[in-house]
Copies of this chain bind each other. A is one copy, B any other.
């Protein structure tokens, strides 16, 4: 059997009560999402199918900030965002400011495979989802008790101007290599709690929060979105591999900025290279993550 690999993450950032109190659930969620993607790869499925399935499973799990359980914006609504990239064809697709779509990553894949657009946002993304028979859910489906409480606590605390200055984070993602050596990456998010409606983050920007190219690597990034965009992080990792031939782990370590006193950005990445080798780096307290490959036993971790 040819080698296969998959790695997933549930978002880099500071530790929180939600995470501490749900460590077992988060680890179980990571393991079952990973397994879902791995099973597809093992049966000969493509890396695109595998990352889509793994991310959709996390979108369905209310413990992760994507799909069901996504953070609520300033209007108490979910605004979802996802992207996917095929490292073999360099095809990519993304959706943003999406409501009612159960699995934004699946809609991103439809954009990638059935349109000549890259990013469709807002009501148009919803209409496109309806047109393409993508599964929908009520607005209530996405809102968990925990997120509603968070919204009610935060809603009057900051002005619009304050919110515009807040960093934003909270993302999930997956990268994989299939039996044919093809790579893929997918990323999905619900945004930061209490964010301004209309804000689109790094997730939808191909090259920042998501990138895949069979020649170099597939990357899913997470953390403070602004930092991922400044550095065009996912593509930077691919570029350093392309031009310097360093290892995947090395490339992740070089490109994820260390925390300094004057820099508060939380950043993390997972990556997989053409030999099925995994890279994983984060500069903050936690990045729930899991990985598995033909010769790599399953690993599931939250903290360092």
Contacts and interface: CB of A to CB of B under 8 A. Distances in A.
Interface of A: 90-92, 96-97, 114-125, 127-128, 131, 160, 164-168, 196-202, 204-208, 211, 225-226, 229-232, 235-236, 239-240, 242-244
A120 B199 contact: yes
Contacts of A125: 198
A165 to B, nearest CB: 5
Nearest to A120: B198
A235 to B, nearest CB: 4
Contact of A115 (B96, B123, B128, B164): B164
Nearest to A240: B243
Contacts of A121: 96-97, 121-122, 198, 200
Contact of A118 (B124, B131, B165, B229): B229
A122 B120 contact: no
Which of A92, A123, A206 is the most central at the interface, judged by chain B CB atoms within 10 Å of its CB?
Answer: A206
Contact of A235 (B97, B123, B239): B239
B166 A122 contact: no
Contacts of A198: 120-125, 127-128
Contacts of A196: 117, 120, 124
